[in-house]
Structure 1
């Protein structure tokens, strides 16, 4: 019975989670960029600490590569990326409060779900060292990223995906809800972010920022509303900062090819360079590379189809518990009649927080998110309290 889940605590979901790596709130955008590139996680936690006065350390937000890319895409920053990289990391932090919340390990699973449904994306949890969890070794630190070890305490964090995975592990307890269609359950969101295939990619920047905030994506459609692909934060998160130049010069369709996991076609790479010159921004790529620690400094050394993960435009992460696979720009889809459990498995398998909903003619009609799914489970748990 679902009542069994009422006994679970947040600590039960933290078993085996690696300790967070952290960035000081006094760091710069360049520090954040270096930290993201050296981390196995897509997001870096940002902390405010005052060890001199022995005050409590607080996680004040999180940053990722997409935050940096969208910041560099601002007109004033693209003209002077070196100066933009010297800005304080606070310019990258979302102004929306409550995205990151501290919780006690003894908090119930129900309380964690409620916080997520209230808007929390990451729950910061102290790591308890006990017989149920083996202490993990600390990763080596770098100048810009350090272990989150504050006042003798390490932390990890929980995400929507962690909670959904946990629920999926005992999905049979919620029968028959998981077998019902997403349409029957009424969890399809029909308002979503969309951009035209032939539109300038730069027109999608506001939508990209909102999709990062909502943990969704931006649908790329043709004139009939057929889903062609997507610009997702998870895919952009596998690119490096030089993709900002591509966003500012390419069409949306060209950008899909540029960020595809196979690497951008050479003709699109040339197009980026030519259009930068037309805008008198030919030095942008070199300035970005020189000021962000990349080894290459030539405009001609943009990503190539044969070396997609070792040149400017892409960067590599070592595989770990939390690292995402490099995804294609192709969207993950389901149908209104797809079952809840099938959609859950799809999202988890592709490491995304959502699945697009399309009709037989491939016209996109909505999106289903982890938050939508959690609402269903929360209602079921409410009925057994």
Structure 2
């Protein structure tokens, strides 16, 4: 009975306190997306079919009252831009690549966002997410829909109002799991069961790479990790986990990391992005190799020294070197999942309970946990999507 009531909860309950989405138009450019991500400090920005662009709201010249087909068609993050600029043809002319339409960053084959009405049930939301959708776009009613209020909100870069009266927030799988955690007792005793008895350990879609491989070889894997909301493991010759290249960490970098990906090994790239910014000696190696490989145009991505040290800008507010090197991520407000040493990886064991793994992921603000044996041999990965299957089946069985 309790599970049935939980299943019927409206997703508007999960939207309380959610900020309105910042948005870009499909007509904006990669450079526009880069500017918004830098300014907002948020990991993702939404992309819309209409012209209510976060960039253009400053002069509201395209914020039309009669725009009737406002649809969120995707989301982009810094990693999308990094992977795009790392393509060989874009490395030869980064400035031209930045003027490409934002549609170049969005895959038509993997729709990660979907609109859903605010009175949809929690179970409906879980069903949609089980299909692979990562973000649900939910309308937020504005208290004042007058023309004057609309124009003021269009001038407010923190709010994007569509169709003259509606702004939107979005819900993630993380939001759903935090909500479920508050009612975890409803699902007893399943949350206490070991994950190796629940079929949630994914051993088929493991994304892994060797420490000594070229960093450029990780790009395709990073694209896949965004789709799976996972990460790329770094393993040694005995298949033991020694680190990872995490989308969550790369989202806290910027385009200055692109030349490093083009010229360094996986291991050196970890050092390059570790502790908030590149060591001077490794930065010089990157510059030298860019010249040797006739990629001189890519040097413009490095910018000046101020840009290169901006990765660790949050340290000026009092963060210690220990926090920086332990994988603390200023943008996400928690552990990023990056590992400079094996002991820092977010891992669990096959006999760990489902609720323990769930809490690990939520507390570290990531959507996956690596599964290892006692000797750190990589066994698999548990993702939100895999855990969602367990709760979905229980909720359907109890309804």
The 3-state SS of whatever aligns with 1:309 is: helix
Q: Tell me if structure 2 keeps the 8 A contact 1:21–1:147.
A: yes
After TM superposition, the structure 1 = structure 2 runs for residues 341-380 of structure 1, keeping only pairs within 5 Å, are 341-380=355-394
**Equivalent-residue separation in structure 2 for 1:326 and 1:356 (angstroms):** 15
**Equivalent-residue separation in structure 1 for 2:175 and 2:153 (angstroms):** 22
Pick closer, same or farther for the CA change 1:52–1:140 going to 2, 3 Å: closer
Q: Tell me if structure 1 keeps the 8 A contact 2:370–2:381.
A: yes
C-alpha root-mean-square deviation of aligned residues, in Å?
A: 2.3
**Equivalent-residue separation in structure 2 for 1:301 and 1:156 (angstroms):** 34
After TM superposition, the structure 1 = structure 2 runs for residues 1-385 of structure 1, keeping only pairs within 5 Å, are 1-49=2-50, 51=64, 53-128=66-141, 141=156, 147-151=159-163, 152-191=165-204, 192-286=206-300, 288=301, 297-298=303-304, 303=308, 308-310=311-313, 323-325=332-334, 327=336, 329-330=338-339, 331-385=345-399
Unmatched 5+ residue regions in structure 1? 131-136, 290-296, 312-321
**Equivalent-residue separation in structure 2 for 1:255 and 1:110 (angstroms):** 42
- Give CA-to-partner distance per residue, 1:336-376, whole Å, 9 cap, x none: 01111110111011111100000011011100000111100
Residue 381 (structure 1) shift: 0.4
- Give CA-to-partner distance per residue, 1:72-114, whole Å, 9 cap, x none: 0000001100000000000001222431100000000000000
**Equivalent-residue separation in structure 2 for 1:12 and 1:356 (angstroms):** 31
TM-score, structure 1 normalization: 0.87
**Equivalent-residue separation in structure 2 for 1:350 and 1:340 (angstroms):** 16
State the aligned residue count.
Answer: 356
Pick closer, same or farther for the CA change 1:101–1:343 going to 2, 3 Å: same
Residue 261 (structure 1) shift: 3.2
Residue 148 (structure 1) shift: 2.6
Pick closer, same or farther for the CA change 1:366–1:273 going to 2, 3 Å: same
TM-score, structure 2 normalization: 0.84
Residue 301 (structure 1) shift: 5.9
**Equivalent-residue separation in structure 2 for 1:283 and 1:301 (angstroms):** 19
More helix by share: 2
Unmatched 5+ residue regions in structure 2? 52-63, 144-151, 315-330, 340-344
**Equivalent-residue separation in structure 2 for 1:141 and 1:85 (angstroms):** 26
The 3-state SS of whatever aligns with 1:352 is: coil
Q: Tell me if structure 2 keeps the 8 A contact 1:42–1:324.
A: no
Residue 302 (structure 1) shift: 6.8
Pick closer, same or farther for the CA change 1:250–1:333 going to 2, 3 Å: same
**Equivalent-residue separation in structure 2 for 1:169 and 1:266 (angstroms):** 47
